[in-house]
């Protein structure tokens, strides 16, 4: 695991609680690397500690779920188990729960 990946995972674990989501770009900003949103996506895809490191909470900037290494159905299931509503592959109240 690289230092950047560790920073991604630690930031996600400590700043995005269950029932909330964030975007790849917002997570990059939280990490003080605002242009590294693609690298954040790559790190989320390589997360060796899911669901302890909740990469399922990172979604696209338009509220769509985006990809998930374990399949989009499992990403949706995990989010819904945390109280996040998903309809047609999109977060229902995205602006209200996105950090």
Q: Is 98 annotated as catalytic? A: no
The one catalytic residue among 55, 58, 84, 97: 55
Strands 86-87 and 90-91: antiparallel
Token digits of residue 67: 């990809």
d(CA 77, CA 10) in angstroms, rounded, equals 23
User: Distance of CA 75 to CAs 2, 50, 97, Å?
Assistant: 24, 11, 16
Classified as helix, coil or strand, 54 is coil
Which residues does the annotation mark as catalytic? 55
């Amino acid at each position: 695991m690289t230092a950047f990946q560790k920073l991604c995972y630690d930031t996600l674990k400590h700043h995005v609680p269950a029932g909330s989501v964030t975007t790849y770009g917002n997570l990059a900003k939280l990490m003080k690397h605002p242009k590294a949103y693609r690298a954040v996506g790559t790190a989320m895809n390589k997360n060796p500690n899911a669901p302890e490191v909740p990469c399922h909470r990172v979604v696209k900037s338009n509220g769509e779920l985006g990809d998930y290494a374990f399949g989009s159905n499992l990403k949706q299931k995990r989010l819904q188990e945390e109280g996040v509503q998903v309809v047609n592959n999109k977060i229902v109240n995205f602006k209200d729960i996105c950090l």
